Amino acid sequence: MQMRQTETRAHKIKCHFGVEHYFSSYRKLSNNPQSSKIYRAVLKDYLDANRKAIYTSGYIFKLPQRLGRIEMRKSKKEVKIDKNGKVINKLPINWQATKKLWAENEQAKERKIKIRYTNEHTGGYVFRPRYIKNTANFKNKSLYKMSINREMRRNTKAAIMNKRMDAFLLSPNK
């Protein structure tokens, strides 16, 4: 008899609904439903167009049913010194250069020295897509979080590097 191992991996996304569920609901509600292939193609085109509008032109995507909105925001990140003389550096970490440094220098790895981006090309601003929930009308808003997929992160970076994007300044109290 073989023992079944329990899975130890922690899954980030614990949603049990997907395109199949949405298509099933669409098929039940529609008088003239299209095929699954057409439904998926239309959904993909729609989401791609919205994603591209967000990371290139700062489009604010309002979610239906008053669920909030998704928009690109920017914030200024600087190196600061606190009142005790400790350096506070919240600049984004350049993991590719950091891992290269750690491979070449064992002492840097032990001391956990990180190489950071200075963002001189954007004037020191860091861009992030944000899920704004303050206009949403549902319970337990604080429990919800938005996670950006790899494709959107890479396309956002390309838009920033090509200077094709700008966003609203994130207020310091958010």
What tens digit of pLDDT does each residue of 73-120 get? Answer: 888 888 888 889 888 888 888 899 999 999 999 999 999 999 998 877
Give the other-Cβ count within 10 Å of 68's Cβ.
Answer: 21
Nearest alpha carbon to residue 141 among 58, 47, 66: 66
Q: Which two tokens stand for residue 79?
A: 């190196």
Confidence of residue 49 (pLDDT cuts 50, 70, 90): very high
Average pLDDT over every residue of 41-57: 89
Q: What is the pLDDT of residue 174?
A: 45
Q: Which two tokens stand for residue 133?
A: 């929930």
Comparing 46-50, 60-64, 93-97, 160-164, the range with the smallest average pLDDT is 160-164
Confidence of residue 163 (pLDDT cuts 50, 70, 90): confident
Identify whether the C-beta of residue 169 lies closer than 8 Å to the C-beta of residue 75: yes
The CA distance from 148 to 150, in Å, is: 7
Q: What is the pLDDT of residue 55?
A: 82
Identify whether the C-beta of residue 124 lies closer than 8 Å to the C-beta of residue 75: no
